[in-house]
Structure 1
Amino acid sequence: MRYTNSHIVVLGAGESGVGAALLAVKFGNKVLVSDRGQIKAAFKKELEENSIPFEEGKHSESEILTADLVVKSPGIPDTAPLVVALREKNIPVVSEIEFAGYYSAAKTICITGSNGKTTTTLLIHHLLKKAGFDAGLGGNVGTSYARQVAEKDREWFVLELSSFQLDGMFEFKPTISVLLNITPDHLDRYNYEMQNYVNSKFRILQNMDHDSWFIYNMDDPIITSEIKKRKPETNCVPFSIKQPVSFGGFSDSKQITIIIKDQFTMSIHDLAMKGKHNTQNSLAAGIAGRILEIRKEIVRESLSDFQNVEHRLEFVARVNGIEFINDSKATNVNSTWYALESMEKPTVWIVGGVDKGNDYSELIDLVKEKVKAIICLGTDNSKIIETFKSVVPTIVEASSSEEAVAFGYRLAAKEETVLLSPACASFDLFENYEDRGNQFKTAVRAL
């Protein structure tokens, strides 16, 4: 449904909110942007330049409750009293992705999962661009989908979707969707019920039919069990790193194989990204490419020359034979599990920050196998020390990136790795995970 000449309220004035406001105004709607916090100067300037009314530090309920439609920031929970009041008045509350979809004729590839979605989104976009597609990149990464549609609609959009964005999507129908994995995350937003979070992820399928394609990880027991229950009426394409499939994609220790209309193979050693989880990401991207009938040479080239997102298993430098890797984006245990799993040399692991109720015991076997020393980088490291003190002989504490990197340089030997993969949020010592990663890189380059 396309809104014109309507009263639209945008809750939240971040990248997605300002993008939605610009799109709403373009189609002649009366718009109010309302943010309960302070709006960043750059976004405020943009709203002023486009004569879009806004308020900060409050929500004027009397006006908001007269809206024809509300576009909500993914950061605002559905349980917020204002959102509850809107729903009671039957005022539609949607995400910026849903809203942008009303105005876009583009075909979409939508990627979700608990881990790996940013990497896979960027990889699929890289593949489409290399194949000459007119493809935008948006969602939970980069510039908002709504802003891009306001500027220029495209033939394709590759969109990373979080569960919070999916919760506000109702009519949206992906051309191709990808579900990478489902592990516990954000359960505080889902009443601590795992099934609620699973249902949220599966919203990606809600409007898909025989004209669309669903690529999924058949090694994930939650996903396979839900597919058996739900019986999706779309083209389901599995991938596996544990067993061969006759249709879809799989890998063994030597190569990946993708079978859609015909067979595509590629040596696992030629993939740009190492580690089992990245093999899964490469399989998902490769399958999407072959569904779109992108030439095999271009798929092969794209999977071999892709450069991963900053702060995600990012190679920083090699100093006197010691490799330093920045995985600051790993803010939960599951992300760190993937990082440790991909380490091929003895590793000094920098971990810690604001604990989100982490269960570090899931990492014990990997730590035994891969880690020679631990550096705790946080204000309260007691849980990490307690979990690993009988597993790793050396555990030290650092209170800054410089100190952590100096310890890493001392504890690692030539041909070994120092890995920053915190498994925690960053807000005790840093502004955010980017700040943490950048300070780590600066400290490494100063060695």
Structure 2
Amino acid sequence: MGKRIVILGAGESGVGAAILAQKKGFDTFVSDMSLIKDNYKSMLNERGIEWEEGHHSKELILNADEVIKSPGIPNNAPMIMEIQSKGIPIISEIEFAGRYTNAKMICITGSNGKTTTTSLIYHIFKKAGLNVGLAGNIGQSLALQVAESNHDYYIIELSSFQLDNMYKFHANIAVLMNITPDHLDRYDFKMQNYVDSKFRIIQNQTPEDAFIFWNDDPIIRAELSKYGIHGQHYPFSENKENGVAAYTEQDKVFFMEPVPFNMEQEDLALTGTHNLFNSMAAGISADIAGIRKECIREALSDFEGVEHRLEKVCKVKGVEYINDSKATNVNSCWYALKSMTTKTVLILGGKDKGNDYNEIADLVKENCSGLIFMGLHNEKLHEFFDGYGIPIADVRSMKDAVDAAYNMAKKGETVLLSPCCASFDLFKSYEDRGEQFKECVRNL
């Protein structure tokens, strides 16, 4: 038999990895502690790939030559620790897929703005007529695309968990949007461990490659001095400074290199300061890839945005409802509140990942006319916000949350779902949470 590859977790990335592994002639086995979704089961069955669900059989796993682990499985899970103690290498699906393609890799990470920036870069490349795939945390898994289609470019959104198990993978263009505390529960509550994880995105870069980053992020700036310069640096900033590749001045966005061009800020499809940075990072990436400036301009102005990210649902009785279910950390919620132009009723809560709500304290005091706590354990939220003198409601379902918001919000105000937390106490996923919100709002 050839080399044995075991894949833990049969979601999008796991099933993609299994299909690629089988195609490359490996003895392939998939194991998931949970139940596997029917569509993924049929993908495995169609190709005759062996799988198990609801448990891990040690005898079928510990004989692996290499293990591909789903990013959702923590490193301290008992099975992972046992695999490590046997000295079996553990890699991510992206690392595995990267071995079998010579496509150019444009990789995006950061605590916030990843999905929007990734989608925006993909939109520009597609508009330019390039043969491009969208992968990582969105779209089809990279491994599946490498197995079944043949793209020249991949635009890949990378979480810190994916980066943790990437070793030889090489990003031709690496984009680092920002670094704020997130997922610290997975990093021994040490910020530095999380920061190190994000910086793995540049680990194999050569002088031919590009590193695009937000110049005003104090953590990124402090870290830069620790790393040898691999790729060419393309920093972006709100202000014109020496050496920045993009900045704003007098309501225009200037892209300085490699090919200089500018455009009116009001022509950007996405509004708000954080989206300005997303647009800059995307514009620089496309510019480096040699896409014509006319095409970049047009694509930056007709992009439609990302679902569950500051997504306008509708207006009911003069109140605007906005779905920002993708805000699974406090910094995301900060961006959302920052972009509100009216008084806001904020719906927040869920599975807390060690959140520090101080970051949004001032914005809540200034901008919020009501707070709705939606979760099984709201004690921490009460402890933090009860003293603010703002009306508060406790709810256990999305319908109750939307009803409470409807009763609280006055004409001309906004109701914002921007939870700061993971969704897993009441919902299947942040998408499920956002879909339920939109449905309840449309039924008002």
Q: Same fold (TM over 0.5)?
A: yes
User: Residues 312 and 297 of structure 1: is their aligned pair in 2 closer, same or farther, counting only changes over 3 Å?
Assistant: same
- How far apart are 1:88 and its partner, in Å? 4.0
- How far apart are 1:195 and its partner, in Å? 1.2
- Identity rate of aligned residues, in percent? 55
- The alignment status of 1:428 with 2:425, answered yes or no, reads yes
Residue 305 of structure 2 corresponds to: 308
User: Residues 61 and 401 of structure 1: is their aligned pair in 2 closer, same or farther, counting only changes over 3 Å?
Assistant: closer
Structure 2 matches for 1:163-242, cutoff 5 A? 163-242=160-239
What RMSD over aligned residues (CA atoms) do the two structures have, in Å? 1.9
Contact 1:205 1:232 in 2 (8 A): no
Structure 2 matches for 1:103-122, cutoff 5 A? 103-122=100-119
Runs of at least 5 residues in structure 2 that lack an aligned partner in the other structure = none
Q: TM-score if structure 1 supplies the norm length? A: 0.94
Runs of at least 5 residues in structure 1 that lack an aligned partner in the other structure = none
- How far apart are 1:245 and its partner, in Å? 4.2
- The alignment status of 1:442 with 2:443, answered yes or no, reads no
Give the SS at the match of 2:342: coil
Residue 289 of structure 1 corresponds to: 286
- The alignment status of 1:80 with 2:77, answered yes or no, reads yes
Residue 421 of structure 2 aligns to which amino acid in structure 1?
A: C
Structure 1 Cα separation of the partners of residues 55 and 395 of structure 2: 40
Residue 320 of structure 2 corresponds to: 323
- The alignment status of 1:349 with 2:346, answered yes or no, reads yes
Deviates more, 1:354-363 or 1:86-95: 86-95
Deviates more, 1:149-158 or 1:410-419: 410-419
User: Residues 58 and 400 of structure 1: is their aligned pair in 2 closer, same or farther, counting only changes over 3 Å?
Assistant: closer
Residue 71 of structure 1 aligns to which amino acid in structure 2?
A: I
Residue 17 of structure 1 corresponds to: 14
Residue 330 of structure 1 aligns to which amino acid in structure 2?
A: A
Residue 403 of structure 1 corresponds to: 400
Deviates more, 1:302-311 or 1:57-66: 57-66
- How far apart are 1:421 and its partner, in Å? 0.7
Q: TM-score if structure 2 supplies the norm length? A: 0.95
Structure 2 Cα separation of the partners of residues 36 and 401 of structure 1: 28
Residue 189 of structure 1 aligns to which amino acid in structure 2?
A: R
Structure 1 Cα separation of the partners of residues 274 and 350 of structure 2: 24
Give the SS at the match of 1:222: helix
Residue 414 of structure 1 corresponds to: 411
Give the SS at the match of 2:388: coil
Residue 28 of structure 1 aligns to which amino acid in structure 2?
A: G
Aligned counterpart for 1:370 among listed residues 364, 367, 370: 367
Q: Deviations over 1:115-152 (max 9, x none)?
A: 11111111110110011110000011121100111111
Q: Deviations over 1:275-308 (max 9, x none)?
A: 2111111110011011122122211121121122
Residue 37 of structure 1 corresponds to: 34
Give the SS at the match of 2:41: helix
Contact 1:5 1:27 in 2 (8 A): no
- How far apart are 1:252 and its partner, in Å? 4.5
- How far apart are 1:9 and its partner, in Å? 1.3
User: Residues 63 and 399 of structure 1: is their aligned pair in 2 closer, same or farther, counting only changes over 3 Å?
Assistant: closer
- How far apart are 1:19 and its partner, in Å? 0.6
User: Residues 229 and 408 of structure 1: is their aligned pair in 2 closer, same or farther, counting only changes over 3 Å?
Assistant: same
- How far apart are 1:401 and its partner, in Å? 2.5
Structure 1 Cα separation of the partners of residues 383 and 49 of structure 2: 53
Aligned residues: 444
Contact 1:336 1:422 in 2 (8 A): yes
Contact 1:275 1:343 in 2 (8 A): no
Give the SS at the match of 1:118: helix
Give the SS at the match of 1:103: coil
Q: Deviations over 1:80-106 (max 9, x none)?
A: 343334344443221100111111121
Residue 136 of structure 2 corresponds to: 139
